[in-house]
Chains A and B, each alone.
Chain A
Amino acid sequence: MTAKSLRLVIGGILLVVALAILPLLAIDVPGVLPGPTYTPGTLQLLAFALLIAALALTYRMMFGLAGLLSFGHALFFAAGAYGLAMTLEAFGPAEWPSALVFTVAIAATLVLGFVLAATVGALALRVTGISFAMVTLAFAQAGSVLIRRNPGSATGGDEGLALDTAHVPPELVGVVDTRNLYWVALGILVLVYLIVLWVEKSRAGHVAEAIRENELRVRVIGIRPYNVKLLVFIAASVLASVAGMGYLLLQSGAAPRIATADFTLTLLVIVVLGGVGARWGAIVGGIVYTLLDQRLTALAGSDAIAALPDILRVPLSEPLFILGTLFVLVVLFLPGGIAGLPARIATGRKQHPAEPEETVDA
């Protein structure tokens, strides 16, 4: 291990420790956080940001590492949330000890996520590029429609599904225990990060990277891209359903919004905003986006905005409008996202070094 990577590992551990003791401190960041860090409201927001960061990390593994532009990632997040909620409800009357039921429900949800990912991935990966994006979009849309249709009152339709807390450990229920949920969210983020790191550093990860750069060449060498892509797809999707389970526990329920195509597009925005080139870009993007979204919503309802003339008030009171515009600007002028900023400042180049030089239009 070189000195640089050792520094990175130590820095990472220190960062995680710092995040872990946050609920015990009273840090107040006016304008960014709604209150001091020990209050349940702030912890709820931070935990949500961490979960979104974990989800963005899994999406980056597909899009950034393997170059798979999927528009259906929300499906697996929703599968985690709804899967756990539905299994917990199904086991509701069971006589087993609660801890056992909880574990079995989590395991069942993981199996569900795996089967769903393997099926969708095996089908969708038969096509590449834009067609792949559309096929995943179609599957996610089917899932979203299914959840809204509420078959057999299993998904709660537009109302969403409330968490059946009968078998959930009491430490994870209730406003006072928000900090436990925060630690769970942090744990999920660290777990996802480590698995993503492991996949990326493995041989399969290198092949996936090679496929992104030049699929034909990988075929010529004698490797079947399909298997590796499927592996990355399944890994990212199962991890997304883990994040989904965290979401269910944190929000005490699942809303149909998390299955929509818009939610996947939000993920795409997060990953590109943070920078596709680096893992930490996705994490920073997820946290920045969640905080921005929350603060912009608070700003939209503030008196300062309400006093503005219509032409300024209407766009500024729509957080998604500001985020969408910001996203377009980042794609146009800042191709490396937030993660690309240090390199751009260091080299002073207009173009991100990882980006190809402006090609002459054919």
Chain B
Amino acid sequence: MDTLVLLLITGLGLGALYFLVASGLSLIYGLMGVLNFAHGAFLTIAAFLGWEAGRRISDGTWTGLAISALVGILVGATVAVLTEVLIIRRLYERHIEQALVTVGISLAAVALFEGIWGTDPIYTDRPAWLTQTTEILGARIPNDRFLLIACAVLVLGGIVLFLRRTRYGLIIRAGVENRHMVTALGIDVRRSFTLVFAIGGAAAGLGGVLASVYYGYVSAHLGSVLLIFAFIVTVIGGLGSLTGAAIASVLVAVLQQFANFYLGGTGDLVVVVLLAAVLLIRPRGLMGKAA
């Protein structure tokens, strides 16, 4: 029983991380049709700068972590907006080229991070509470999992509220549904592109700081690893669906944890099998709209 609870909550924590990356990917893809390979780079740069800021001000305390998170969110959003405005905007409606450009950015960014911060992971200091465990139903759960889950729930709630309750959210939802109609009604959808990039970048930035808490280190490859699972999550959840991304994140991460424990470390393979199965039975993903 305790193993079950441990795996479940650890899976939820990992799923929270996947969701923070996948939510931005899914929104960006849903609205603009851009497969954003640079998303991992947003996450990594936010993790690095968040860590740099946090450790300068107060290392290993809650204040330090809060500052890291704030800096991470700001950096993620800023870098994402810059990427959109300076590079991706030039290539609207040319989806393959957009994907290619983000591939180039991700390659260059990882190399640059390696040049600045080195190739080895840098271990980070965390508030003491996060390194301890809490006992739930006999299972000793590392406390950082709770932080991850809480943050992801907050982000999910925030994005859903934003999409449902604000005018910009309405435009974004309408844009995902039918972009040409929104344009025909005289609304400049392009401004919401920038906004979506900012939201996705901010979520990825927070994800970067939390990933450094979860793994206990920052490295230039932090983003690339998470990005691949985030891609899988978005496809399983259905491209462009936020709820789908949330459900799929949890599903993928929990399954991964269970397979890693009970099936001898085959978590990654099981996820790919799940992806293949979903595509065979339901090519548009769990919650995706019909193509």
A and B are partners in one complex rather than unrelated chains: yes
Partner of B179 from the list A149, A327, A359, A362 (CB cut-off 8 Å) is A362
B275 interface residue, CB < 8 Å from A?
yes
Q: Are B96 and A139 in contact (CB under 8 A)?
A: no
Cβ contacts under 8 Å, A314 to chain B = 112, 115-116
Q: Is the CB of A328 within 8 A of B104?
A: yes
CB pair B111–A321 under 8 Å, yes or no, is yes
Count A-side interface residues using an 8 Å CB cutoff.
45
Interfacial chain A residues near B37, Cβ < 8 Å:
265
Is A141 part of the binding interface, using a Cβ–Cβ cutoff of 8 Å?
Answer: yes
Q: Establish whether residues A317 and B115, one from each chain, have CB atoms under 8 Å apart when the complex forms.
A: yes
Task: Tell me which of A69, A146, A315 contacts B112 (CB under 8 A).
Answer: A315
A31–B145 Cα distance when bound, in Å, is 53
Assess the B100–A272 pair: CB atoms within 8 A. yes
Question: Would A331 and B239 count as touching, CB distance under 8 A?
Answer: no
**Which residues of B, 246-265, contact A by the 8 Å Cβ criterion?**
265
Tell me if A89 is interfacial: C-beta within 8 Å of chain B: no
> Cβ of B110 < 8 Å from any Cβ of A?
yes
**A133–B35 touching, CB < 8 Å:** yes
Instruction: Return chain A residues, CB-CB under 8 Å to B96.
Output: 69
Q: Contact partner of A130 among B35, B112, B232, B275, CB < 8 A?
A: B35
A121-162 vs B, CB cutoff 8 Å, 1 = contact: the mask equals 001101101110111011101100110010000000000000
Contact with A along B217-254 (1 / 0, CB 8 A): 00000001000100110110001000000000000000
Residue from B112, B114, B115, B183 with most neighbouring chain A CB atoms (10 Å) = B115
Secondary structure at chain B's binding surface: helix, strand, loop or mixed? helix
- Picked from A127, A142, A331, the residue with its CB within 8 Å of the CB of B272 is A142
Interface centre among B106, B111, B275, B283 (most CB of A within 10 A): B111
Instruction: Specify the chain A residue showing the minimal Cβ separation from B90.
Output: A332
Question: Are B269 and A146 touching (Cβ within 8 A)?
Answer: yes
Q: Among the listed B114, B190, B279, which residue makes an inter-chain contact with A126, where contact means beta carbons less than 8 Å apart?
A: B279
Q: In whole angstroms, what is the CA distance A214 to B108 when docked?
A: 33
State the CA gap A323–B265 with chains docked (Å). Answer: 36
Find out whether the CB atom of A332 lies under 8 angstroms from the CB atom of B101.
Answer: yes
B92: A residues at CB distance < 8 A: 361
- A324: interface (CB < 8 Å): yes
Which residues of chain A are near B179, meaning CB under 8 Å? 362
Contact A331 B100 (CB under 8 A): yes
Per the bound structure, the CA–CA distance linking A281 and B232 in Å amounts to: 32
- List CB contacts (< 8 Å) of B85-139 with chain A: 87, 90-93, 95-97, 99-101, 103-112, 114-116
Please, which residues of chain A bring their CB within 8 A of the CB of B234?
134
Measured between C-beta atoms, what is the minimum distance from A312 to chain B in Å?
Answer: 11
Chain B residues closer than 8 Å to A131, beta-carbon distance: 235, 239, 279, 283
In which size bucket is the chain B interface? 35 or more
Chain B positions within 8 Å of A69 at CB level: 96, 99
Q: Judge whether A265 and B268 touch: CB under 8 Å.
A: no
Tell whether, in the assembled complex, residue A138 and residue B269 are in contact, meaning their CB atoms are under 8 Å apart: no
Cα A358 to Cα B115 in complex, Å, equals: 37
Which residue, B29, B104, B108, has most C-beta atoms of chain A within 10 A? B104
Contact of B105 among A127, A142, A261, A328 (CB under 8 A): A328
The chain B residue sitting closest to A129, CB to CB, is: B95
Residues of B within 8 A of A321 (CB): 108, 111-112, 115
CB of A318 within 8 A of CB of B111, answer yes
- Asked whether A269 and B268 contact (CB < 8 A) given A127-B283, A133-B35, A138-B232, the answer is no
Contacts of A129 in B (CB 8 A): 95
CB distance from A271 to the nearest CB of B (A): 10
- A79→B269 CA distance, assembly (Å): 17
Among residues of B, the one whose C-beta sits closest to the C-beta of A261 is B228
**B186 shortest CB reach to chain A, Å:** 14
Q: Decide if B276 is an interface residue (CB 8 Å cutoff).
A: yes
Q: What separation, in Å, do the CA atoms of A362 and B33 have in the docked complex?
A: 13
B268 cross-chain contacts in A, Cβ below 8 A: 141-142, 145
Some 12 contacts from A to B, beta carbons below 8 A apart, are A127-B283, A130-B33, A130-B35, A130-B239, A135-B235, A139-B276, A317-B115, A321-B115, A324-B106, A328-B105, A328-B108, A361-B190
Which residues of B come within 8 Å of A, CB atoms?
29, 33, 35, 37, 87, 90-93, 95-97, 99-101, 103-112, 114-116, 179-180, 183, 190, 224, 228, 231-232, 234-235, 239, 265, 268-269, 271-272, 275-276, 279-280, 283
By Cβ-Cβ distance, the 9 closest A-B pairs, closest first, are A324-B108, A320-B111, A324-B107, A321-B111, A328-B104, A327-B104, A318-B111, A142-B272, A314-B115
Other A-B pairs beyond A265-B103, A269-B104, A327-B103, 7, CB < 8 Å: A133-B35, A137-B231, A320-B108, A320-B111, A327-B100, A328-B105, A362-B183
